Amino acid sequence: MKFRTLAIAMLSLALVQTGWSAPASAANAQTSSKVSTSAGKGTRQAKAPAKKTVKKRVGRKYAARAETRKVSLRRTPAPLIGAEEAPLQLDALGMPHLRSAAFVVANQTTGHVILERKSESILPIASITKLMTAMVVLDGGQSLSEEIVISEDDIDMLKGTGSRLGLGTRLTREEMLHLALMSSENRAASALARHYPGGLPAFVTAMNIKARMIGLSDTRFSDSTGLTPENVSSPRDLVRMVSAAATYPLIREFSTTSERYVQIGSRMRRFGNTNSLVRSPGWEIGLSKTGYIREAGRCLVMQAWLLKQPVIIVLMDSDGRYSRTADAVRVKKWIEAAGAQRLAALAAREG
């Protein structure tokens, strides 16, 4: 036993001299184990905040993404199409590339055509119809302060479009005309026709007579709203119709109003213009009307001042929600790109 103890002591001394140390007893080993375990726990506790930090950072990252997605899904008004959103692209002849299927751009003063494509095509015109509706209403000489009422006959049974003018809504003829031109309210346009002497049939007859009087040979009307695709015209005819409508001060005013608040029942309701360009400081618009039904596509007619000249822009069957507005911007940029000589040169070429 003494020999075994002596051997262990000599071995320990040799190991110490070589730089190795070991626990002197089982108690020391147990203590060392506890220290090691405690250190391990300390290590895990030290790492835990790092994990929480990472998780927190990831949480903020995903929260930011969720917030971005939330913002992107919010309903926003139709954008103002500016120069940067409507890049000007020219074809081989130096003409602007437009996304409307048929169009005419003409100098209202001289009558000269500046741009055109399929200008004689006879197409559905949708709510561009309401310009003729307005002219017939004003030609009729009925009191603009007289109240007229929305009834079941004004509900759109053809396309199923909605309206904020509920049954029984009472507004003056002037207010109905304003909403029909500015916000393209179909029930307002329908009520205006129904309250015409002789009702809707007489009103539609007056629309077609007015069309002949102002020289519209390609134009036919079947209702006052434009919901039916039977209301048709050509871009060339629409230039004449816009020019005729522009002689009515109320049509110019009502069709270019940015917004209007109207008392309907116990609530004030806001109605906005369907053409966002009337709110753009870069445009001087004298008359405006948009239109859309599936058969007609997106349409836009305007009388605007470009290079101090009155220009009529007719854009038919555009293939995107905002492309008719962007096409108008492209036309404006193209005309203004070469300065005042653009209109003069084109007028001389047409002459």
Residue 249 has pLDDT above 60, yes or no: yes
What's residue 44's pLDDT?
43
What's residue 35's pLDDT?
38
Average pLDDT of the segment spanning 256-270: 94
* Helices 129-140 and 199-213, axial angle in degrees (round to 10): 100
Contact of 180 with 289, CB cutoff 8 Å: no
Contact of 221 with 231, CB cutoff 8 Å: yes
- Report the first-to-last Cα separation within the chain, whole angstroms: 132
Residue 70 has pLDDT above 80, yes or no: no
Residue 48 CA neighbour count, 13 Å, CB half: 6
* Confidence band of 9 (pLDDT split at 50, 70, 90): low
Average pLDDT of the segment spanning 222-236: 98
- 203, amino acid identity: F
Mean pLDDT of all residues belonging to the chain: 81
The tokens of 323 are what?
């492309």
* Confidence band of 321 (pLDDT split at 50, 70, 90): confident
CATH architecture group of domain 92-139+208-350: 3-Layer(aba) Sandwich (3.40)
What's residue 50's pLDDT?
46
**Residue of higher predicted confidence among 342 and 328:** 328
The tokens of 313 are what?
């822009």
Which one of 47-61, 198-212, 309-323 scores highest in mean pLDDT? 198-212
Residue 271 has pLDDT above 50, yes or no: yes
What is the residue whose two structure tokens read 């309206």?
Answer: 163
**Residue of higher predicted confidence among 342 and 300:** 300
Residue 137 has pLDDT above 80, yes or no: yes
What is the residue whose two structure tokens read 């039916």?
Answer: 228
pLDDT digits (tens, 9 = 90+) for 170-191: 999 999 999 999 999 999 999 9
198-218: b (≥16 Cβ within 10 Å) or e: eebeebbebbbebbeebebeb
Contact of 149 with 247, CB cutoff 8 Å: no
Residue numbers annotated as active site: 127, 130, 184
Question: Considering only CA atoms, which of 123, 55, 111, 106 is closest in space to residue 291?
Answer: 123
* Confidence band of 202 (pLDDT split at 50, 70, 90): very high
Contact of 98 with 315, CB cutoff 8 Å: yes
In whole angstroms, what is the distance from residue 199 CA to residue 203 CA?
Answer: 6
What's residue 258's pLDDT?
97
pTM of the model as a whole: 0.74
